[in-house]
A and B are shown apart, each in its own frame.
Chain A
Amino acid sequence: MHELGIAEKIVEIALASIPEGIENPKVERMNLRIGKFASVVEDSLRFCFGIVVKDTPLAETELIIENVPVLVHCNKCNFEWEVDDPIFKCPECHGTDLEMLSGREIDIDSIELAD
């Protein structure tokens, strides 16, 4: 539902990251990291991205999306595990004082410019 706004923001950041002085820059690839608990629908994001990049140096950019798993750390027994269902209880000690280590990312790692 909100992927259009995210796509616009991604393009804005990428365009601002292209060094000045490059004639007709072309971004070949963009590397993103998206957490599984980030409420981003990958297909929707790709669809919206395809619309907002029209007539920009990102018009033919391939989106490489790394899915980041939801990793949780138990502050009681220090067990760490990957959460599949959104049930937040330590499988080892049943502790509930937990920290989410990853899974909410919507990060741009890098862009790759054509030579």
Chain B
Amino acid sequence: MEINIQKRVLEYERLKKFFKEKNVFVLNVMSSPGSGKTETLVKTLNRIMPKIRTAVIVGDICTTNDADRLQSTGADVTQINTDKFGGDCHLAAHLIESTAKEFDLERIDLLIVENIGNLVCPAEFDIGEDARTVVLSVTEGEDKPLKYPLMFRLAHSAILNKIDLLPYLEFDVDEAENNIKEVNPNIPVFRISATKEQGFDPWIEWLEKMVFSKISK
């Protein structure tokens, strides 16, 4: 007897609907470990709050270091640790769902999910987000977008971070941007330095435009 199932294994539509009902814009931020996601977000939150009321879910296998840094901005922050001795390599929709419900979403415009540092697995798992941003730092290789195409193909914007280090590196920043656009031709790419807070204006403008195109509180 054959039983028809016709079901997507990784279900996230319910969560997408939930965020829509709550009128919350969800941004999934992904990168490899050490690209500067947290520093980028700290500086971003300092600029967009309180105009955009923001909460952050931070995923790591272990430690609350990132959450501690983000809390200094005044945003509501929740840390998810997947396992102390090596847990999941990504944040899945069911974890985001249970964690998001801990926030008072009526009072939040933007929920940022800082995913676990990994260019492979997080790309595969939709978490009901409205947009994805991938952060690539100039201390990585220019060819990362070609090596991890799914991550860059599905992103809605890309950040090239640590550009203040370019004088000390043999990193071809134009080649990196071209590689991103090979995989995702129309993606906006923002060149920034999170630590020196350079190049943030176009990124903030893009983010605010995205958020305000969805929410109307």
Contacts and interface: CB of A to CB of B under 8 A. Distances in A.
Contacts of B184: 88
B7 interface: yes
B143 to A, nearest CB: 12
Contacts of A112: 1-3
Interface string A4-18: 011001100110011
Contacts of B182: 86-89
A39 B126 CA distance: 13
Interface string B1-45: 111111111100000000000000000000000000000000000
Contacts of B10: 6, 9, 106
B198 to A, nearest CB: 28
Size category of the A interface is 20 to 34
B3 A9 contact: no
Contact of A88 (B9, B123, B124, B185): B185
A58 B118 CA distance: 32
Contacts of B90: 2
B146 A109 contact: no
A107 B121 contact: no
Interface in B58-73: none
Interface in B160-188: 182-186
Interface string A44-68: 0000000000000000000000000
A113 B9 contact: no
Given A9-B9, A88-B185, A96-B185, A2 B124 contact: yes
B89 A86 contact: no
Contact of B153 (A10, A86, A96, A113): A86
B5 A110 contact: yes
B120 interface: yes
A60 B205 CA distance: 55
B92 interface: yes
B88 interface: yes
Interface in B118-155: 118, 120-121, 123-125, 146, 149-150, 153
B8 A5 contact: no
Interface in A76-115: 86-89, 96-98, 100, 105-113, 115
B186 A37 contact: no
A21 interface: no
22 contacts: A1-B121, A2-B120, A5-B92, A6-B10, A9-B9, A17-B3, A19-B3, A37-B150, A39-B150, A86-B149, A88-B153, A89-B182, A89-B185, A97-B186, A98-B185, A105-B8, A106-B8, A106-B9, A107-B8, A110-B4, A111-B3, A113-B3
